[in-house]
């Protein structure tokens, strides 16, 4: 069996949560990433000097640029200026001077001869490739060269007055995940700047059936945070060929702290992508929406050709015992976040996005690859900017790492991370069915034995005396120290959409019954404690035609189909009302584990395939005294027992009315018959 085939199947066995997409993309590059040229002879990275100053990269004082680059093993470092962002020959070269902490320094003249720059190291008498520095903040076409541009000079009108929308506490966060292109590319989106940052600035856009689209859709939906898939400069799209209209999720980072050029109206001019990104942020803020960036600090697309290995070979990546790149990401390499200068780069990059671009939150891709100390440092750095900036990530890896699990930011260690959250795959797979075994249904489709996994998510992965943790699908102990550390979701960009999963896992089921399953899934997420997460478009039964791996498929697969919103407007309206209900009632977003333990009580003697609980005594200061929440995942009507009393029914299946759909008087000892595949929410004011 060829080596690449062996690598594929070993990784396939390890990736149970999601990274098949990126691994398939990178399969052809893994061999080059593992070349012997990447090996070093017993390097002791702990002996490398470190630099603690705040001025790595290109900085500007009085309009004059200074470049400082960390390259402790280099014998020489040359700075080359070019007239253009790609092609041509250098217009001038400078020998950088060795400085403190393993850095090299050069102060450019007041009016440099070129507009773009690269550096080239000599290491072991070998001349390395020309690359931008790792701290580059502005680039030319395809990120080949850095730009001699102060990003502060590319601010849009009114940027100095931009403010983050108010966020009282993290428990109020409601996340909506989105790929930037998906929002606007549909021919009937009504959006002019299709696939661009500016597409997310347009208001008043309408689609088929006069439905709201784009930014108006996000605002009307009621989410608080727009989570964008990676928008930093990634390597899989050729910015010089916009006519190809290629698509990619963007999990192939090239430069950590530069906006992606293919989303700008002009990828050649370095200022345009910066200015338009900021215009997007300001438009979101003006519409009371916060922005979360999906950041990928766990790997790079190509290790041995990028800035890291061309300036400090081996240092930025973890290695196996034989000197090759380790691969906990299933993408060919993994970033060595535990090394001081790598940690410094990550922390300062995240802080830069928050400070320069006013970003309000960060979702860390494969956060479990990063070490705990780095994530703590990120939290501290962001707190110095704004304490309300939200951080969450995937609390797992896609393979084995040389860093012990006890030192990594995985779910099991979340209680050692203050105010950082992780995705709860227990609820996800409990509700809809196993993410990898696509034909396997979940609780919402009548699959037995998943009640405790769903209840685990309902209490936001915290400690609760009524849970039997040994029956939970994955974690056998609670991992969240507070409810806001748990992200509750049933679908994201990875794998099939929720609708496509329900279709493949429930063959032969009518559309009406599939919709009931979908609404039950959504109701469970938005009435659970913790932080809810919605893949935008799932609110109108988004489909990708059954694809479970759309990372590079064309827009006609990935784009939000606004005609589908018009077709299923009643489903969208249900989700909108469900989110509004959550925002109006603090009982569904209790702030501490202790409050959940005090106010959330699971009902005893519930039949198999059902879950019931009550939130009592004005939980969280809610105006409703008692809320009874009932879920029937069975595909048949089921009798359940609830406390006797008179209730107002505010949610039943696909109907929501906070003022009450009807009154219900329940006598002691008389069961309540719940319809198949449905939720009920009963309240006593």
pLDDT of 25 above 60 = no
Task: State the Cα–Cα distance between residues 527 and 541, nearest whole angstrom.
Answer: 19
Q: How far, CA to CA in Å, does 215 sit from each of 41, 226, 289, 369, 569?
A: 53, 10, 10, 33, 17
pLDDT of 8 above 80 = no
Task: State the Cα–Cα distance between residues 316 and 325, nearest whole angstrom.
Answer: 10
Please give the pLDDT value at position 42. 55
Q: How far, CA to CA in Å, does 171 sit from each of 110, 421, 613?
A: 50, 11, 20
Question: What is the arithmetic mean of pLDDT over 614-635?
Answer: 98
Locate 153 and state its tokens. Answer: 């000079």
Please give the pLDDT value at position 15. 39
- CB distance 59 to 91 below 8 Å: no
- CB distance 451 to 608 below 8 Å: yes
Compute and round to an integer the Cα radius of gyration of the chain: 26
Local confidence band at 304 (pLDDT 50, 70, 90 cut-offs): confident
Active site residue 260: no
Local confidence band at 40 (pLDDT 50, 70, 90 cut-offs): very low
- The closest of 322, 336, 332, 307 to 144, measured between CA atoms, is 307
Length of the chain in terms of residues written: 685
Q: How many CA atoms lie within 13 A of 269 on its CB side?
A: 10
Task: State the Cα–Cα distance between residues 78 and 93, nearest whole angstrom.
Answer: 7
pLDDT of 16 above 80 = no
pLDDT, tens only, 83-133: 999 999 999 999 999 999 999 999 999 999 999 999 999 999 999 999 999
For residue 64, count other CB atoms closer than 10 A to its CB: 13
- CB distance 683 to 647 below 8 Å: yes
Locate 239 and state its tokens. Answer: 């910015």
| 429-433, 652-656, 662-666: least confident range | 662-666
Of 202, 394, 425, 495, catalytic: 394
561 or 666, which is more confident = 561
| 26-40, 74-88, 457-471, 487-501: least confident range | 26-40
- Record the pTM: 0.93
Task: State the Cα–Cα distance between residues 372 and 500, nearest whole angstrom.
Answer: 36
First to last CA, the chain: 67
Of 365, 425, 452, 500, catalytic: 365
Question: What is the arithmetic mean of pLDDT over 358-371?
Answer: 98
Question: What is the arithmetic mean of pLDDT over 607-626?
Answer: 98
pLDDT, tens only, 123-165: 999 999 999 999 999 999 999 999 999 999 999 999 999 999 9
pLDDT, tens only, 435-453: 999 999 999 999 999 999 9
Please give the pLDDT value at position 21. 40
- CB distance 510 to 554 below 8 Å: no
662 or 19, which is more confident = 662
Question: Across all residues in the chain, what is the average pLDDT?
Answer: 93
Whether the CA torsion 134, 136, 137, 139 is positive or negative: it is negative
Q: Is 6 exposed, middle or buried (0-12, 13-18, 19+ CB in 10 A)?
A: exposed
Local confidence band at 669 (pLDDT 50, 70, 90 cut-offs): confident
pLDDT of 211 above 50 = yes
pLDDT of 37 above 70 = no
**What is the maximal distance between C-alpha atoms in the chain?**
89
Tell me which H or E stretch contains 569: helix 569-584
Task: State the Cα–Cα distance between residues 303 and 310, nearest whole angstrom.
Answer: 9
Contacts of 244 (CB under 8 A, 6+ apart): 238
Active site residue 668: no
Contacts of 530 (CB under 8 A, 6+ apart): 424, 457, 460, 461, 480, 483, 484, 485, 486, 487, 488
For residue 5, count other CB atoms closer than 10 A to its CB: 10
Phi-psi region of 605 (alpha: psi -120 to 50; beta: other; left: phi over 0): left
- CB distance 225 to 292 below 8 Å: yes
Task: State the Cα–Cα distance between residues 63 and 150, nearest whole angstrom.
Answer: 8
Tell me which H or E stretch contains 229: none
Locate 325 and state its tokens. Answer: 């790149």
Question: What is the arithmetic mean of pLDDT over 453-464?
Answer: 98
Give me the residues paired with residue 147 across strands: 116
pLDDT, tens only, 319-334: 998 889 999 999 999 9
CA 173 to the chain's CA centroid: 14
pLDDT, tens only, 256-275: 999 999 999 999 999 999 99
Task: State the Cα–Cα distance between residues 376 and 379, nearest whole angstrom.
Answer: 5
Task: State the Cα–Cα distance between residues 672 and 373, nearest whole angstrom.
Answer: 51
Task: State the Cα–Cα distance between residues 52 and 45, nearest whole angstrom.
Answer: 16
pLDDT above 70 as % of the chain? 94
pLDDT, tens only, 632-651: 999 999 999 999 999 999 99
């Amino acid at each position: 069996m060829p080596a690449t085939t062996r690598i594929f199947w070993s990784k396939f066995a390890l990736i149970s949560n999601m990274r098949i997409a990126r691994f398939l993309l990178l399969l052809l590059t893994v061999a080059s990433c593992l070349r012997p040229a990447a090996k070093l002879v017993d390097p002791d990275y702990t002996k490398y000097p470190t630099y603690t100053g705040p001025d790595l990269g290109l900085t500007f004082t009085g309009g004059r640029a200074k470049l400082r680059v960390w390259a402790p093993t280099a014998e020489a470092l040359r700075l080359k200026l070019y007239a253009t962002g790609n092609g041509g020959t250098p217009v001038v070269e400078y020998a950088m001077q060795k400085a403190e902490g393993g850095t090299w320094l050069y102060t450019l003249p007041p009016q440099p001869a070129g507009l773009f720059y690269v550096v080239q190291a000599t290491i072991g008498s070998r001349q390395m490739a020309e690359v931008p520095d790792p701290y580059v903040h502005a680039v030319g076409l395809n990120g080949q060269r850095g730009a001699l541009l102060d990003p502060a000079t590319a601010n849009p009108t009114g940027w100095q007055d931009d403010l983050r929308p108010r966020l009282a506490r993290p428990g109020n966060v409601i996340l909506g995940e989105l790929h930037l292109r998906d929002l606007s590319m549909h021919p009937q989106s009504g959006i002019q700047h299709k696939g661009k940052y500016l597409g997310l600035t347009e208001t008043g856009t309408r689609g088929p059936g006069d439905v709201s689209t784009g930014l108006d859709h996000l605002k009307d939906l009621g989410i608080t945070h727009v989570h964008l898939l990676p928008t930093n400069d990634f390597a899989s799209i050729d910015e010089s060929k916009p006519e190809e209209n290629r698509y990619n999720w963007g999990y192939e980072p090239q430069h950590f702290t530069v906006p992606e050029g293919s989303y700008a109206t002009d990828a050649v001019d370095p200022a345009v992508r910066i200015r338009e990104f900021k215009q997007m942020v300001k438009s979101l803020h003006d519409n009371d929406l916060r922005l979360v960036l999906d950041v990928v600090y766990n790997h790079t697309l190509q290790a041995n050709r990028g800035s890291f290995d061309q300036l400090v070979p081996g240092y930025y990546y973890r290695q196996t015992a034989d000197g090759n790149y380790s691969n906990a990401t299933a993408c060919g390499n993994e970033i060595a976040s535990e090394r001081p200068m790598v940690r410094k780069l990550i922390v300062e990059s995240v802080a830069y996005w928050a400070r320069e671009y006013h970003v309000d939150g960060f979702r860390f891709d494969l956060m479990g690859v990063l070490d705990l100390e780095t994530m703590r440092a990120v939290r501290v750095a962001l707190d110095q900017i704004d304490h309300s900036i939200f951080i969450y990530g995937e609390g797992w890896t896609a393979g084995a790492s040389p860093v012990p699990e006890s030192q990594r930011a995985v779910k099991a260690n979340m209680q050692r991370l203050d105010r950082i959250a992780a995705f709860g795959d227990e609820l996800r797979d409990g509700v809809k069915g196993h993410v990898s075994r696509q034909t396997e249904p979940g609780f919402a489709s009548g699959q037995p034995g998943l009640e405790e996994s769903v209840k685990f998510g309902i209490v936001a992965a915290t400690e609760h005396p009524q849970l039997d943790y040994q029956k939970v699908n994955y974690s056998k102990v609670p991992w969240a120290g507070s409810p806001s550390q748990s992200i509750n979701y049933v679908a994201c960009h990875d794998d099939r959409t929720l609708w496509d999963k329900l279709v493949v896992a429930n063959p032969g089921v009518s559309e009406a019954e599939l919709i009931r399953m979908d609404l039950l899934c959504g109701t469970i997420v938005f009435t659970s404690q913790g932080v809810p997460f919605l893949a935008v478009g799932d609110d109108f039964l988004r489909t990708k035609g059954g694809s479970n791996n759309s990372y590079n498929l064309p827009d006609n697969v990935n784009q939000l189909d606004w005609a589908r919103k018009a077709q299923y407007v009643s489903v969208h309206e249900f989700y909108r009302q469900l989110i509004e209900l959550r925002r109006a009632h603090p009982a569904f977003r209790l702030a501490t584990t202790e409050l959940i333990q005090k106010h959330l009580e699971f009902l005893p003697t519930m039949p198999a395939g059902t879950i019931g609980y009550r939130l009592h005594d004005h939980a969280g200061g809610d105006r409703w005294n008692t809320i009874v929440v009932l879920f029937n995942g069975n595909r048949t009507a089921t009798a359940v027992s609830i406390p006797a009393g008179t209730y107002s029914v505010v949610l039943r299946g696909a109907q929501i009315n906070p003022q009450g759909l009807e009154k219900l008087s329940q006598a002691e000892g008389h069961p309540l018959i719940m319809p198949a595949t449905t939720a009920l929410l009963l309240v006593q004011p």
